[in-house]
Structure 1
Amino acid sequence: KRNSNSSMSYWIPLPDDITGPRPSDLPTYFAATCVLWTLILNLCPKAKSECYLSIAHSVIVTYTSLACIFRGDDTAFSCAASVSFFVVDAVDMYFKDVAKAKDEGRALLTAMNTSRKMDYLHHVLGVTFGLVEHYYENDLCPAHVGCAFIYVQWNEISTPFYNLFRLTGNQVWGACFALSFFLARVVGNTFIIIPLLYGNCSSLLGVFCVPYFMLQYLWFYMIAMKIKRSLGKRTNKAGVEKGKAELKKPFTKSF
């Protein structure tokens, strides 16, 4: 049985009676949502299809993850929706990056900037974390916590604002994004989600959680630096335009 005094332990082991992978409808939901994401990519305007895809995913999984947390819904659909999104989006990113590298006559890795590589890392972590935590949720976390993955899915609440900003360039959406990112992914994770998972779940979960949370802090640092650079350029009319252009540059797409 799990250590009842787990909040005082620096290492929470797996339970002695590991149940193994749980029965799940995740493969069915995975296939269905793969079709949905692919349709969105192909039916929306090509130049901005990734924005519409990201908005659709974030709205859906924010709702489903909160439904799992507060209403007790099964986590299969919520986890499948994100895992399939990461797979479909990564494939789309890959083909776009290959085409870009070919046009520029550069190797694939050198053609990608740091933020793009972070997108791939985010997607790999998402697929791995989503599958492992869903199928082994009964072993990794106690019943009152459940699947740890759904506690990070609601971080996607900031994503629609980011993509609306990319689509419209409206500074209001940009401000909403920065604020929601800070509240959800910095404050919420630091003071609610991390203590919840650290105090109750197996420490092996940290293999997946720590890189994910560190990525969020790094992204927030990048956001803060981007805003700082933008404000620093607003000393004259030309600077104002440069500042706006700086903010509009998409430095990542995984929010």
Structure 2
Amino acid sequence: MKKELSFFLVLLVIFMFHNNSTLNSYPFGSPGNKTGSIGDGGQNCMGCHYGSNIGVGGSISSNFLNNTYIPGNTYTLTLNAPSNYPNYGFEITAEDPVTGSNKGIFIITDNLNTKSIENSTSVTHTIDGTSQESWTFDWTAPGFASSSSSVKFYASIINGNGNGSNSGDTYCENSLTVFENTSSLSNEINRVYIYISENKIFINNFIDWIQISDLSGRVIYRDNKLIKGDKILIQSEKLHIVEFFSDEKYFSNKIYIQPTL
């Protein structure tokens, strides 16, 4: 009886060890908040996978122009893992690098290998995606009202050794910082429709309707039927959002009103 009990206890210990080893790995995707970012409290994949941390590894490629983004626009990113590992896993998120708040929304373009988590503020692998060395997805930048001066992408990558458990894997991380395009107005708007000088907005063409608001959404100016030569005086010194219709087209952009000297 004692031998049978001892044998049972040994089997139980082996089962518990194996069960813990497999349950703490996530072949179907990260459980979330494991990118090592500020918003994730510095937690990364090493909390569930046991192995070596090789530091910075892999890369993040994108179609950002000069590492800048325009609020509301959508961009394509590719996360590349180090080569020659049996399998992989990852999580990536985008945050304000100062506050750690999530920025923008991820859009899944490869449902077979990737999926969104955390209300589309992060992306991770699927079970099929563990055989990939790179993953591609889109990201829509925050709109004018919620944009910040920069956004940092934090990526956490597990390089699996293929033993079916969470032991013996290696971990690496990567990041990419992009900055909001601070040009106050596009060339087309600046050249054809309106011009900004200090705290004045000069009208260069017929404007059907124009509205100016602060970043909280509070409207500080609204008018219609403006003609060339009209000007708008803005008293407050800070970032604003200007929206207007002209030539049957809608324009919206962030502008900075400078103080008068």
- Specify the TM-score bucket, using the shorter chain as the normaliser: under 0.3
TM-score with structure 2 length normalisation? 0.25
Which structure's relative contact order is higher, taking Cα pairs within 8 Å and 6+ residues apart? 1
Tell which structure's C-alpha radius of gyration is larger. 2
TM-score with structure 1 length normalisation? 0.25
Q: Which structure has greater helix proportion?
A: 1
Q: Which structure has greater strand proportion?
A: 2
